[in-house]
Structure 1
Amino acid sequence: MTVEFQVQGVPVSELARRYGTPLFVYDGTALRDRFHGLRDRLHPAMEIFYSLKANPNISICALLHSFGARAEVSSLVELTTALRAGVPPQQVIFLGPGKSRQELAACLDSGIHAVVCESIPEVALVDELARERGVKAPVALRVNPRFAVKRSGLAMGGKPRQFGIDEEELFATTDLVKRFPDVDLMGVHVYMGTRILHEAVIVENTTRILDLAERLSAALNLELRMVDVGGGLGVSYFDGESDLDVQVLTDGLNPVIEDFTARHPGTRLIMELGRYLTAEAGTYVMGVRYTKTSMGERFAVADGGTHHHMAAVGIGSFVKRNFPMAVLNRLDEPATEEWNVTGPLCTPGDTIGKKVPLPPVRPGDLIGVHRSGAYGPTASPGLFLSHGYPAEVLVHEGRCHLVRERDSPEDLLQRQRLYDPTAHDAADVPH
């Protein structure tokens, strides 16, 4: 009997029949287990904020919020998504190095917990906007520290970056509170790196960030009501990698958190998690259209590819390795052959897996890329060749929910305007 991949008892062939391929499938139980697996062991003073950049689907955000997650956002749409998903404004923070005036105004108007400012000129703009509104703007300062992250998949600090204000600059600018009277400087944010798979590194980073926050608070005379220690908790994708041991991680983190909260009982502690919460819960499902052999190598040409899942080909990674992949409708068959799995795009770059060990592949098979719940559509060129974005389906408590409709040709064309060279409307002629 053929063994088929299922999500909460729903066969993948049924999902493909109902929603078509390619599609992303998210397992609500996996999301819940991932969140509570950490939440139930982590010190209660450390709040978990979901980073929408990993997967901005409004239903994913709403489900994680129902488990207890807050929201960290980095665009006007992400802010709107979090609020519409039911996250209260006081459970939202906004960060990013290039916020627009419109985005900053929306932060103040919606009353979010903190705007994380990444430069002194940004603090000045927030001060101006707050003064116009007659409010005090809650601001946390993102710091680019002297120390660098170790053993990170992608470093975000500790070297010249667009992110944050250099530690040296902040310690030399002790008049910030006086310079910006309509800003409430209330916290510190540091994010060192992402995809960290070593518990001791996360503990060390957290310890050093909390120490830096205390020293900055004293130097700048700011009330330390919030410290965001970033996160960067990794997910294993490749051979030779192992997932974090949550018990080992929290055994190391909790005493550090307890020690800090004893000294600062009124400080809100925040950890941002995106990939860690969602990656494991997602599977990208592609239908095989054709198979062929070229110069001795096998190719499975699928209906999905890098335009939906750029992360699977190594975005943010120096070494290109395959995400875990399988023929989902024949899981029990041994992987006896090597296959290049490619998509429908007219570019050699549309190869989502190179020499992937798989059983013999046939047209009509369903190939899945596991651990695809993070940085799929949100980090991919979905409009390349005008294919558009795929459907997204959430399976929760045994029921299937279409949480994003597949783009249609009309969807992709409706915002374009056809130029008519025979028209002579003066309003369209530049002056």
Structure 2
Amino acid sequence: MTREFQVQGVPVSELARRYGTPLFVYDGTALRDRFHGLRDRLHPAMEIFYSLKANPNISICALLHSFGARAEVSSLVELTTALRAGVPPQQVIFLGPGKSRQELAACLDSGIHAVVCESIPEVALVDELARERGVKAPVALRVNPRFAVKRSGLAMGGKPRQFGIDEEELFATTDLVKRFPDVDLMGVHVYMGTRILHEAVIVENTTRILDLAERLSAALNLELRMVDVGGGLGVSYFDGESDLDAQVLTDGLNPVIEDFTARHPGTRLIMELGRYLTAEAGTYVMGVRYTKTSMGERFAVADGGTHHHMAAVGIGSFVKRNFPMAVLNRLDEPATEEWNVTGPLCTPGDTIGKKVPLPPVRPGDLIGVHRSGAYGPTASPGLFLSHGYPAEVLVHEGRCHLVRERDSPEDLLQRQRLYDPTAHDAADVPH
């Protein structure tokens, strides 16, 4: 009998029958094991905040929060999502380089733990909003440090960036506390880079960030009640990569954390994790519509593609490599052929896998892209050709939950307005 991919005992063919394809499937047990695999080893003083940008589905956020995760958000919708998912405001921080006045006002009105400001003009705006409300606004300063991350998939600091305030500028601006009386400068945030797969690099970065936070606290005369060390813990996708060893990582991190907390027992320590928590738990499932050969190469044309999973074709990477892929309904058949796996879009860029080793592919097969729980719909052009976004299904404790409905034509058209060139009544004209 042909072996089939299952999620907690539910066959992928059953998921495809019930919910259609393409779809994202998330394994709640994998989410739990990933979270606790780190949480149970990590020093208790370091809190884990889930970065919603990786996967903003409200049910994913709620499930991770039930395990103990807090929330890091970067938009008004992400803030609303976290609060509706049950995350208390004091377990939420908000960061991002271009926050709107509306977003900053929502942060103050909801009472979140900290607004992470990424420029001095932003601190000034928060100060103004706090004064209007008669409150003291909790602010952490995001620092762009002099040092750069090593072996990162995408560097976020140590170079000219839109993120954070340059370290040199902060050390030269020692009157920040006095200049903004309605702001409570209470912390420091540094995020160095993403997809780091070397435990020693994470330990070194954390050590240097904590040292920088202490020096800034002394120089600016701010009470250090929070330090966010970022995260960037990586997930392996490609040949030659290995996942982080949580035990090795925490064996290196925990003494650094212990040393810092001994000097600063009242400081809240935060690590942000998005991809690390969710990527492994997700599978993107596509149905094969057609197969063909063109100039000697095989093509499997599927109902899903890059409009749902742009990350799988190397977003943010100059080297295009394939995510792990398989024919999910025939796992035990050997990969004897190379296939280009493409989607329904009218562009040659809609190739989600190039020369992927697979068994002979047939129409009706289900092809899965593994490790797809992060940066799927959230980083993809879902409206290209007006296909819309796919269904998302969470399987937890053996039960299936539809956590996002598939976009329908009516969903996509309901916010558009038809212009009738034969009508002569007044148009909506901005004043």
TM-score (norm 2): 1.00
Counterpart-to-counterpart distance in 1, 2:49 and 2:428: 47
Report the CA distance between 1:318 and its aligned residue: 1.5
SS at 2:54's partner residue? coil
Partners of 1:58 and 1:148 in 2: CA distance: 34
SS of the residue corresponding to residue 210 of structure 1 reads helix
Report the Cα distance in structure 2 between the residues aligned to 1:259 and 1:429, rounded to whole angstroms. 63
- How far apart, in 2, do the equivalents of 1:382 and 1:61 lie? 21
Residue in 2 that maps onto 1:248: 248
Per the TM alignment, residue 429 of structure 1 is displaced from its structure 2 partner at its CA by: 5.2
Deviations 1:84-141 (A, max 9, x none): 0000000000000000000000000000000000000000000000000000000000
* Residues 25-81 of structure 1 deviation map (CA, whole Å, 9 limit, x = unaligned): 000000000000000000000000000000000000000000000000000000000
Correspondence list, 1:3-152, <5 A: 3-152=3-152
Structure 1: gaps spanning 5 or more residues:
none
Note closer, same or farther for the CA distance 1:273–1:78 as it changes in structure 2 (3 Å cut): same
User: Equivalent residue of 2:184, what SS?
Assistant: strand
Structure 1 residue 427 displacement after superposition: 4.3
1:424: how far off? 1.6
* Distance (whole Å) between structure 1 residues aligned to residue 59 and residue 257 of structure 2: 31
Q: Which residue of 2 aligns with 1:366?
A: 366
In structure 1, the residue matched to 2:405 is 405
| C-alpha deviation, 1:142, in angstroms | 0.0
Provide closer, same or farther for how the CA distance between residues 98 and 302 of structure 1 changes in structure 2, counting only shifts above 3 A: same
Q: 1:428 Cα deviation (Å)?
A: 3.0
Rounded Cα–Cα distance in structure 1 between residues aligned with 2:286 and 2:160: 40
Tell me the distance in 1 between the aligned counterparts of 2:247 and 2:317.
Answer: 28
Q: Deviations over 1:288-327 (max 9, x none)?
A: 0000000000000000000000000000111100000000
Rounded to whole Å, the distance in 1 between the matches of 2:205 and 2:428 is 57
1:238 Cα deviation from its structure 2 partner: 0.0
| SS of residue matched to 1:211 | helix
**Aligned counterparts of 2:413 and 2:12: Cα–Cα separation in 1:** 31
Distance 2:55 2:426 in 1: 45
**1:206-244 Cα deviation digits (max 9, x unpaired):** 000000000000000000000000000000000000000
CA separation of 1:263 and 1:336: change in aligned 2, threshold 3 A: same
Q: Distance in 1 between matches of 2:111 and 2:415?
A: 32
Compare 307-316 and 420-429 and name the one that shifted more: 420-429
Q: Percent identity?
A: 100
5+ residue gaps, structure 2, are none
The Cα shift of 1:425 comes to: 1.8
- For the residues of structure 1 that align with 2:424 and 2:364, how far apart are their CA atoms? 52
User: Equivalents in 1 of 2:376, 2:210: separation in Å?
Assistant: 32
Q: SS at the partner of 1:290?
A: strand
**Structure 1 residues 430, 86: closer, same or farther in 2, change over 3 A?**
closer
Instruction: Report the TM-score when normalising by structure 1.
Output: 1.00
SS at match of 2:151: coil
Counterparts of 1:328 and 1:178 in 2: how far apart (Å)? 61
* Cα distance change of structure 1 residues 6 and 98 upon mapping to structure 2, 3 Å threshold: same
Q: CA deviation at 1:204?
A: 0.1
CA distance in 1, matches of 2:38, 2:232: 14
CA RMSD in angstroms comes to: 0.6
Q: Return the alpha-carbon distance in structure 1 between the equivalents of residues 353 and 149 of structure 2.
A: 30
Q: Secondary structure at the match of 1:53?
A: helix
Superimposed CA distance per residue, residues 340-380 of structure 1 (whole angstroms, 9 cap, x where no aligned partner): 00000000000000000000000000000000000000000
Q: Secondary structure at the match of 1:360?
A: coil
Shift of 1:150: 0.2
